[in-house]
A and B are shown apart, each in its own frame.
Chain A
Amino acid sequence: MTVSAAWYLTLAAAMFSIGAIGLLVRRNVLVMFMCVELMLNAANLTFVTFARELNDVGGQAVVFFVLVVAAAEVVVGLGIIVAIYRRRLGATADDIHVLKG
């Protein structure tokens, strides 16, 4: 019997908050992307915790799909970042705030 679910949920909340703060503070687009991955992982941890606590396999199945969607999201997002970097040499989110080519 591992530690109780509340510890896991608290840890997941802390990770989610750190990822959200990083997304708000950092300006490098790649680091912002990594912060999104952190938030996704915190949500995954919550899903697995509830799957164990409620004895329901649905939580783990959802985590499986979240992993697939995260992989697809990273592929498309990094493609967009590469396309942006190819057009201009801006390294931060401030350089692409106009959203026009």
Chain B
Amino acid sequence: MHLFLASATLPDTITFAIAAAICIVGSLGVVVSTHPVHSALMLVMTLFGVAVLFVEENAQFLAAVQVIVYAGAIVVLFLFVIMLLGVDRAESIAADPLRGQRLTALLLGLLVLAEVVLLGRGRWPTGAHSTAGALNQGTKPNVNVLGTSIFTTFLLPFEITSALLVIAIVGAVVLARRPRRPVGGASSPIPSAKGLTGPPEAEGDDTDRGPLQMGVEDLEDSDGLEAGRPGVPATHGQEGSKS
């Protein structure tokens, strides 16, 4: 209990109270909002509250990054996906599809809360010191201290982070690619299976055309661009029927 009774000035206490209330209300809003867009906006509110708490704890750089990266990029990405998928309609959360699920979830959540609060109010400092360095170094600002630490002590994780970002970008591009148009030709079995159904239609079309065009068509078939085959014979067939 001695932890709760530390001296705090009145403005700091008021700031913490307001930011904590914003965080709690925003978190509850994320969970209970029936509309996904409302959930995303409540998430923005929570992130701003956490940024205020970061400033209050002398983590100015992290507060700025929190606002820029989380509220500026991640939530915007969420909103993009919500709008893109067209799921921006209210969801009925009145029904409980699994019987007893909410009660069990609530009990488990309260259990987690009680456990973490008990752990948080215990005596956690073990006296061990890490090698990362002190946070308060005289009059050096927080950005200098954190930047020095990241580019010296945590240099290898920082470099690995860049590789992680590249992997994430490549993974997102691969996942968001339309599966009908694979770039590498017969990279997956499904387009090649579709390509097997293509040639009979193409042969049926080619009877209307001359032998020279047939030769060009076969040359085009022979190289690795069979990915577009399901669409190509249909267009040729329409042209052939018109002519």
Contact = CB atoms under 8 A, between A and B. Distances in A.
Given A25-B31, A63-B59, A79-B176, A45 B50 contact: yes
A78 B77 contact: yes
Interface string B113-127: 100110011001100
Nearest to A40: B70
Using C-beta atoms within 8 Å of the partner chain, give the interface range for chain B.
35 or more
A26 B202 CA distance: 50
Given A24-B109, A57-B133, A72-B165, 18 more contacts: A7-B4, A17-B112, A17-B113, A18-B31, A19-B30, A20-B108, A21-B106, A26-B31, A28-B91, A34-B39, A34-B40, A34-B78, A57-B146, A60-B135, A64-B65, A68-B161, A74-B74, A76-B168
28 contacts: A1-B7, A2-B16, A5-B3, A6-B120, A9-B117, A10-B121, A13-B120, A16-B112, A17-B113, A18-B24, A18-B109, A24-B108, A25-B101, A26-B93, A30-B78, A30-B87, A31-B36, A44-B62, A44-B66, A45-B54, A51-B59, A52-B135, A56-B129, A57-B135, A60-B146, A63-B62, A64-B65, A65-B154
Closest 5 CB pairs of A and B: A9-B120, A58-B132, A79-B175, A22-B31, A24-B105
Given A11-B20, A20-B108, A71-B69, A4 B30 contact: no
Interface string B129-146: 110111110000010011
**Majority DSSP secondary structure for residues of B touching A:** helix
**Majority DSSP secondary structure for residues of A touching B:** helix
Nearest to B137: A57
Given A7-B16, A18-B31, A81-B81, A75 B59 contact: no
